[in-house]
């Protein structure tokens, strides 16, 4: 629908592990959007900076957490490539910060740019000269075709089918509501608010599942956030090193975020694990003090997968019991270290307390490490962190539309709860249906009318 | 022998619901207008159902009224029952419907036409339309009269080459025993108009004396009648009831046994019929699992025994019709007074029209009503009014009135037919309006009276009255915002009683009305300063407050929509020369010739990529134009 008037954003460096990444935004809301997500180091106001200045600071998410350290170029129209206000955010390379920043621009009101759209705007706003016009048309065509092909390819199979199914479900609700509205005197089985609510909830769950699997898809691309926890001196650092082994794949250094941290990635049979708080693991290893429960809770809340390490030789003490309580029913494994020594821990007791699978290892003697890796792999691939999910929904645009679609249904459900009239609920359901349609490229109102007449016997 | 019969500014061909509105609007706007009809007794005839309004349609009637049309006033004068439909649902889909006294409706409308200054009414069959270059020049009647004019509005409804079908009997003829117009089609084809052939039908009329109402469910009108027109103060009439009964297995058996005699199934009818108005044969075949179908019995007037059998539209032979009707409870001894029939007729492909309803390529030729592929009295009247207004504006050298989809159902209706075309007679439905929450029947006056005033169809007295209402609404909302109730025991008791939350802070009446469980009316006792406001004001206040959130949501959508509507496409653009467009898009755009980018984006077969290409082309084009102008 929006061709020129809204603000668009895109990643403008090749996606991958290049040193520097750039997200670029153009449109009259660019400045408004960057202000919402940019914390300037100097503490000065964004507006106080002159045009065409480069500003140093941090990109923060909606909760105020720092996402990355960046340089922001402020370029106000009309002397820009597109003649509109343009904001360029230079951040650390690598897919994670770039994608996160792009997502934040979306959350704050930008729309993802279509292929060739920056160039198109440049042209439409009079930036390019006449002779370039034909070339621009060609670019739009070829890029649109290519992206079309790509999206068609992506949409083949499950995602497209799933979304069509969900849309059909929504259409059925819509048809019931609409037939009831347009033919009030006919004995159509009208859906009660309760039934609409029930069916809408089911559909919303389906959409949320897709979003969840897509988030998992991203997890797999970016690494499953893994916490290694345990008492000081239990062997966390050694375990980390043992797992890293030769497969030490990627080390990204992100300076100036919360504090200097090093993120380690471990590749377990193709599944990347991103170890959280490695610095903490190494630091506490040398301390002979109690673990900070608050700190542990914080780490656990960030993680998708947990490795709890216990000392088989020493047995379970109060601290371990506290940890077992914290990890209970979470996704992860308990590893009992020092299996080569005399054991004071009963495997059964650990399982009872944690509801997790337990594996016995000796890091020192390199016993059971392969088994641990296999169990990590099995545990992840058998859980709802579905590795296929990545293939299903990976496109940020799609994820955004799914989220908007789910949000519309949430509004609808709230409307039903508040007792709002059915034609208002219908607005939300229609909206949700439209958003899904945008993913698969179908949004035609006539569908509803067709559905009404095919489903109901109405008319004079 | 032909003869010169006079010169008129505007000639309206057809005296149905579209023609009446066209002629009145044109004459009221000061143009010497001629209304030609084949039969003066069939002015404003209602050949099918005896009612005006209903879902979506009621909205249209209110909009016609706000723009200064006649339909609302006429039904207010002649209704015999009235009902607000959908009251169990929200305000956006409340719809007014009235049963009309058909004959009175015609008489009143004819009286109004006859009283109208500048309006001449004559009985003639127009057989030919003549052009001068690409402009209309005159019309020629069957008896040889030549009327010169610079504007023609064709509102011939279902009369063009109409053919009646009842079972295996078929003959050339118009609706309701009238003649069809057999020659005008050829003349239209001659000047390049593309015709389609549609089909519709009407059920039998039966004799009241032969119906046993005891076996049916009575359907009364509303206790308090809400008028259609802003001008009508109140309506006090003795209302006549309708009745509800059902078909049954026996009825369906009769139909199934005789299906081979139905021209729809034997292939004798080829025209495209409407899905929302299926014949009973269709219903029984397509929904074979339904054990019964509703039948509404509606009086055709106060002083007649004829009853309309809604739900039994059919083209089965007469003897089968009778047999079928007599299986229905309460109609065991029924006598048919007029048989049900199907009718086929020529209509134009509405894609040939601009949104002003003027024909593309012929100056001064307008089309309105059922000939444009629509169905329904209200749809026809709405188009008639717009065509009348636009023919007048054109003569004055002003730009046409084009209502967009966010302004009115009329806008939705016309945009749909001229952009998407239609494959069946088009009926208005509220589901067709994307901005339904804004396009309510209760605010049609607020949406459109200013436009009606600008055009010149709303007089000062009415406009003053309208402004007064508008101010009252605004002031009352302001007052409710500023009136804050103290958190005392009265408020607490009231809120408890309503199962509504109470806090120790003061709360404005405005905030309270926002809560779904509390109405404006119920706050009466707590609201000490409330004045004595008319119902249409308090109703408006409540709706605007209560649904503010959703209304805002739609207004945001409208804002987006308007941006694209404002990007106008030059009329003389040559789509064939835009190499970036896909072939399908080129053809579709060339046919519809959209007036704006928004309009173009609604054409099926035009993709977002095509729109991008179009934008680029337009920019290029306008730069070339300005370069040319600078060079001169």
Cβ of B55 within 8 Å of Cβ of A123? The answer is no
* A228 within domain boundaries: yes
In residues, how long is chain A? 460
- How far is the C-alpha of B140 from the C-alpha of A238, rounded, in Å? 103
Q: Which residues pair with B308 in a beta bridge?
A: B205, B298
* Cα nearest neighbour of A143 on chain B: B609
**A chain contacts of residue B278, beta-carbon cutoff 8 Å:** 457, 459
Residues in chain B closer than 8 A to A178 (CB atoms) = 429-431
Flag if A141 and B613 touch (Cβ within 8 Å): yes
Whether B616 and A120 lie within 8 Å, measured CB to CB: yes
Q: Given the structure tokens 């054109």, which residue do they identify?
A: B394
Pairwise CB contact (< 8 Å): B550 & A427: yes
Nearest to B615 by CA among B627, B606, B604, B605: B606
Question: What are the chain A neighbours of B205 within 8 Å (beta carbons)?
Answer: none
Which residues of chain B are modeled with pLDDT < 50?
none
Say if A452 falls within a structural domain: no
Q: What is the CA radius of gyration of chain B?
A: 27
Closest CA in chain A for residue B376: A460
Res A224: pLDDT: 73
Contact A377, A268 (CB under 8 A): yes
For residue A11, give the nearest of A84, A109, A152, A110 by alpha carbon. Answer: A110
The residues that bridge with B34 in the sheet, in sequence order, are B11, B120
Return the number of other C-beta atoms located less than 10 Å from residue B471's C-beta.
11
Please state, rounded to an integer, the average pLDDT across all residues of chain A.
76
| Domains defined along chain B, listed by start | 205-341 (2.40.30.260), 471-553 (1.10.10.1800), 567-629 (1.10.150.570)
Give mean pLDDT, residues A334-351: 87
Contact at CB, B554 and A183, closer than 8 angstroms: no
Q: Check CB contact under 8 Å for A130 and B293.
A: no
pLDDT at residue A345, as a whole number: 85
* Torsion, CA A303, CA A305, CA A309, CA A310, rounded to 10: 100
Q: Say yes or no: A375 and A402 in one domain.
A: no
Q: Nearest-CA distance from A458 to chain B in Å?
A: 6
Q: What is the dihedral of CA B212, B214, B216, B219, to 10 degrees?
A: 110
- My answer on whether A188 and A251 are in the same domain is no
- Do residues A368 and A230 share a domain? yes
Interface check for B243 against chain A (CB to CB < 8 A): the answer is no
Provide the shortest C-alpha distance from residue A445 to chain B (in Å): 7
Co-location of A249 and A293 in the same domain: yes
A186 and B553 within 8 Å at the Cβ level: the answer is no
CATH of the domain at A72: 3.30.1360.120
**Domain assignment present for A396:** yes
Three-class SS state of B100: strand
Q: Which residue has the higher pLDDT, A90 or A286?
A: A90
Of residues B346, B350, B369, the one with CA closest to residue B416: B350
Of A5, A133, A182, the CB nearest to B620: A133
For the purposes of burial, counting CB atoms within 10 Å of the CB of B251, is it exposed (0-12), middle (13-18) or buried (19 or more)? Answer: buried
A293, pLDDT greater than 80 = no
Distance CA B239, CA A24 (A): 68
**Structure token pair of residue A325:** 């309580």
Per the CB < 8 Å rule, is A427 touching B432?
no
Query: How far is B418 from B373, CA to CA, in rounded Å?
Result: 10
Residue of B nearest to A452 (CA): B276
Give this prediction's pTM. 0.77
Q: Is the pLDDT of residue A246 over 60?
A: no
Run of H or E including B379 = helix B377-395
What pLDDT does A94 receive?
A: 63
Q: Answer whether residue A433 is part of any domain.
A: yes
Q: Do A247 and A109 have their domain in common?
A: no
Give the model's confidence band at A454: pLDDT under 50 very low, under 70 low, under 90 confident, else very high: low
d(CA A446, CA A404) in angstroms, rounded, equals 22
Same domain flag for A322 and A292: yes
- Residue A431 structural domain: 143-213+391-441
Residue A97 confidence (pLDDT): 77
The predicted model gives A73-90 an average pLDDT of: 89
| Contact yes or no for B287/B333 (Cβ under 8 A) | no
In this structure, what token pair is assigned to residue B603?
């054409």
How many structural domains compose chain A?
Answer: 3
Query: Cβ contacts (< 8 Å) between A460 and chain B: which residues?
Result: 48-49, 203, 277, 296, 310-311, 313
Q: What is the residue whose two structure tokens read 């009251």?
A: B87
Query: Residue B236 CB: number of other CB atoms within 10 A?
Result: 6
Residues A370 and A402 placed together within one structural domain of the fold: no
Q: 459-488 in B: which are within 8 Å (CB) of A?
A: none
The domain spanning residue A363 has which CATH number?
3.40.50.300
pLDDT of amino acid A129: 55
Give the span between the Cα atoms of B391 and B404, in whole angstroms: 18
Crossing angle of the two packed helices B460-482 and B535-546, in degrees rounded to 10:
50
Mapped onto helix, strand or coil, the DSSP state of residue B158 is coil
CATH number assigned to the domain comprising residue A402: 1.20.120.430
Query: What is the helix (H) or strand (E) element at residue B121, kind and residue range?
Result: strand B119-123
Same domain flag for A241 and A353: yes
Residue numbers in B near A418 (CB within 8 A):
516
Alpha-carbon gap: B182 to the closest alpha carbon of chain A (Å): 28
Residues of B in contact with A433 (CB under 8 A): none
Q: Are residues A29 and A112 in the same domain?
A: yes
A26 assigned to some structural domain: yes
- Contacting residues of B for A136, CB less than 8 Å apart: 616
CA distance B233 to chain A (A): 27
DSSP B125-147: -EEEEEEETTEEEEEEETT-EEE
Angstrom CA distances, A329 to A37, A445, B160, B317, stand at: 35, 46, 77, 74
Question: What are the tens digits of pLDDT across the range B593-606?
Answer: 999 999 998 998 88
In this structure, are residues B463 and B471 in contact, taking their beta carbons and an 8 Å threshold?
A: no
Distance, CA of A30 to CA of A324 (rounded, Å) = 48
Cα→Cα distances A143→A237, B114, B615, Å = 49, 64, 16
Identify whether A124 is part of a domain.
Answer: yes
pLDDT value at position A381? 62
Regarding predicted confidence, which is higher, A241 or A308?
A308
Angle at B617 between CA A129 and CA A115, to 5 degrees: 80
Instruction: For residue A149, name the pLDDT band (cuts at 50, 70, 90).
Output: very low
Query: Are residue A375 and residue A277 in the same domain, yes or no?
Result: yes
Name the more confident of A265 and B180.
B180
Q: Is A447 part of any domain?
A: no
> Largest Cα–Cα distance in chain B?
90
Q: In sequence order, what DSSP letters do the residues of B524-579 get, joined into one string?
A: GGT-TT-----HHHHHHHHHHHHTHHHHHHHHHHHHHHHHHHHSBPPTT--GGG-T
Residues A235 and A191 in one domain: no
Residues of B in contact with A420 (CB under 8 A): 90, 516, 547, 550
- A5 contacts on B by Cβ (under 8 Å): 560, 563
Shared domain for A147 and A198, answered yes or no, is yes
User: Do the chains contact at A124 and B619, CB–CB below 8 Å?
Assistant: yes
Q: Which of B510, B507, B500 shows the shortest CA–CA distance to B485?
A: B507
Q: What is the DSSP string of A413-435?
A: HHHHHTT--HHHHHHHHHHHHHH
pLDDT in tens, A405-435: 999 999 999 999 988 889 999 999 999 998 8
Bridge partner list, B346: B197
More confident residue, A295 or B525: B525
Within a domain: A385: no
Other CB atoms within 10 A of residue A372 CB: 21
The interface residues of chain B toward chain A in range 214-233, judged by CB-CB distance below 8 A, are: none
Instruction: Determine how many CB atoms are found less than 10 A away from the CB of residue A42.
Output: 10
Rg of the Cα atoms in chain A: 27
Taking the C-alpha atoms of residue B25 and residue B39, their distance in angstroms, rounded to an integer, is 21
Structure tokens at B240: 């006549």
The encoded tokens of residue A116 equal 């060739």
């Amino acid at each position: 629908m929006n061709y020129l008037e809204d603000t668009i954003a895109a990643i403008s460096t090749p996606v991958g592990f290049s040193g520097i990444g750039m997200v670029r935004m153009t449109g009259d809301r660019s400045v408004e959007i960057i202000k919402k997500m940019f914390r300037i180091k100097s503490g000065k106001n964004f507006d106080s900076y002159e045009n065409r200045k480069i500003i140093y600071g941090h990109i923060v998410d909606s909760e105020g957490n720092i996402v990355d350290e960046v340089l922001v170029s402020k370029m106000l129209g009309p002397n820009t490539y597109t003649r509109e206000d343009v904001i360029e955010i230079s951040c650390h390379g690598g897919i994670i910060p770039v994608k996160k920043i792009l997502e934040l621009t979306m959350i704050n009101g930008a729309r993802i740019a279509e292929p060739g759209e920056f160039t198109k705007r440049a042209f439409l706003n009079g930036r390019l000269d006449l002779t370039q016009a034909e070339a621009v048309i060609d670019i739009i065509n070829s890029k649109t075709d290519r992206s079309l092909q790509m999206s068609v390819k992506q949409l083949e199979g499950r995602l497209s089918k799933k979304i069509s199914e969900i849309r059909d479900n929504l259409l059925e609700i819509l048809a019931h509501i609409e037939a009831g509205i347009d033919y009030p005197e006919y004995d159509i089985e009208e859906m009660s608010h309760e039934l609409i609510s029930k069916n809408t909830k089911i559909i919303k769950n389906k959409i949320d599942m897709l979003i969840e699997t897509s988030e998992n898809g991203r997890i797999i691309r970016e690494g499953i956030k893994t916490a290694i926890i345990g008492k000081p001196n239990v062997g966390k650092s050694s375990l980390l090193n043992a797992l890293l082994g030769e497969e030490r794949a990627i080390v990204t250094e992100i300076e100036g975020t919360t504090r200097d941290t090093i993120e380690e990635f471990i590749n377990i049979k193709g599944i990347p694990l991103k170890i959280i708080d490695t610095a903490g693991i190494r630091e506490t290893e040398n301390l002979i003090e109690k673990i900070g429960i608050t700190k542990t809770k914080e780490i656990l809340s960030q993680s998708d997968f947990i490795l709890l390490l216990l000392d088989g030789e020493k047995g379970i003490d109060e601290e371990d019991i506290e940890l077992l309580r914290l990890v209970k029913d979470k996704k992860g494994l308990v590893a009992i270290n020092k299996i080569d020594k005399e054991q004071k821990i009963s495997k059964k007791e650990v399982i009872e307390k944690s509801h997790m699978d337990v594996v016995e290892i000796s890091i020192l003697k390199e016993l059971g490490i392969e088994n641990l890796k296999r169990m990590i792999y099995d545990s992840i691939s058998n859980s709802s962190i579905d590795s296929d999910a990545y293939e299903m929904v990976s496109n940020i645009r799609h994820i955004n539309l799914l989220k908007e679609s789910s949000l519309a249904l949430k509004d609808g459900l709230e409307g039903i709860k508040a007792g709002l009239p059915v034609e208002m609920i219908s607005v939300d359901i229609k909206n949700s249906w439209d958003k899904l349609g945008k993913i698969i490229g179908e949004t035609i109102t006539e569908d509803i009318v067709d559905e009404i007449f095919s489903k109901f016997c109405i008319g004079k | 022998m032909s003869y010169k019969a006079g010169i008129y500014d505007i000639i309206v061909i057809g005296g149905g619901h579209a023609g009446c509105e066209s002629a009145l609007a044109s004459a009221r706007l000061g143009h010497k207008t001629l209304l030609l009809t084949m039969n003066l007794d069939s002015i404003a005839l209602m050949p099918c159902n005896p009612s005006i309004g209903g879902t979506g349609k009621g909205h249209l009637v209110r909009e016609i009224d706000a723009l200064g049309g006649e339909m609302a006033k006429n039904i207010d004068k002649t209704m015999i029952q009235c009902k607000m439909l959908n009251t169990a649902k929200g305000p956006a889909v409340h719809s007014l419907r009235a049963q009309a006294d058909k004959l009175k409706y015609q008489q009143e409308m004819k009286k109004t036409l006859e009283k109208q200054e500048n309006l001449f009414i004559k009985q003639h069959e127009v057989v030919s339309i003549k052009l001068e270059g690409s402009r209309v020049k005159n019309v020629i009647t069957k008896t040889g009269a030549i009327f010169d004019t610079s504007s023609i509005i064709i509102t011939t409804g279902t009369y063009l080459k109409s053919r009646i079908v009842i079972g295996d009997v078929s003959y050339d003829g118009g609706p309701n025993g009238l003649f069809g117009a057999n020659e005008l089609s050829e003349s239209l084809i001659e000047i390049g108009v593309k015709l389609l052939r549609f089909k519709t039908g009407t059920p039998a009329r039966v004799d009241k004396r032969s119906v046993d109402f005891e076996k049916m469910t009575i359907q009364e009108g509303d206790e308090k009648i809400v008028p259609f027109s802003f001008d009508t103060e109140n309506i006090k009439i003795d209302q006549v009831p309708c009745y509800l009964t059902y078909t049954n297995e026996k009825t369906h058996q009769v139909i199934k046994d005789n299906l081979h005699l139905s021209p729809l199934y034997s292939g004798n009818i080829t025209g495209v019929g409407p899905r929302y108005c299926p014949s009973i044969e269709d219903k029984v075949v397509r929904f074979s699992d339904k054990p019964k179908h509703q039948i509404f019995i509606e009086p055709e007037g106060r002083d007649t025994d004829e009853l309309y059998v809604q739900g039994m539209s059919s083209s089965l032979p007469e003897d089968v019709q009778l047999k079928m009707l007599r299986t229905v409870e309460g109609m065991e001894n029924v006598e048919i007074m007029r048989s049900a029939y199907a009718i086929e007729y020529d209509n134009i492909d509405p894609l040939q029209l601009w949104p002003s309803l003027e024909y593309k390529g012929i100056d001064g030729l307008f089309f309105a009503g059922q000939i444009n592929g629509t169905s329904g009295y209200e749809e026809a009247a709405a188009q008639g009014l717009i065509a009348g207004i636009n023919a007048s504006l054109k003569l004055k050298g002003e730009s046409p009135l084009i209502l967009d989809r966010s302004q009115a159902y009329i806008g939705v209706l016309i945009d749909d037919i001229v952009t998407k075309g239609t494959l069946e007679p088009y009926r208005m439905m509220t589901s067709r309006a994307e901005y339904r929450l804004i396009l309510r029947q209760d605010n049609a006056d607020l949406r459109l009276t200013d436009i009606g005033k600008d055009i010149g169809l709303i007089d000062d007295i009415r406009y003053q009255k309208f402004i007064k209402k508008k101010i009252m609404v605004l002031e009352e909302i302001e007052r409710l915002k500023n009136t804050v109730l103290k958190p005392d025991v009265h408020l607490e008791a009231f809120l408890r009683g309503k199962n509504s939350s109470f806090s120790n802070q003061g709360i404005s009446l405005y905030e309270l009305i926002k809560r779904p469980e509390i109405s404006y009316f119920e706050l009466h006792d707590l609201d000490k300063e409330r004045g004595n406001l008319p119902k249409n004001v308090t109703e408006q206040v409540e709706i605007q407050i209560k649904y503010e959130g959703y209304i805002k949501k739609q207004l945001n959508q409208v804002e987006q929509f308007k941006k694209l509507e404002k990007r106008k496409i030059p009329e003389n653009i040559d789509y064939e020369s835009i190499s970036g467009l896909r072939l399908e898009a080129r053809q579709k755009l060339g046919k519809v010739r959209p007036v704006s980018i928004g309009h173009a984006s609604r054409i099926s077969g035009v993709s977002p990529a095509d729109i991008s290409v179009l934008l680029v082309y337009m920019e290029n084009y306008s730069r070339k134009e300005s370069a040319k102008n600078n060079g001169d």
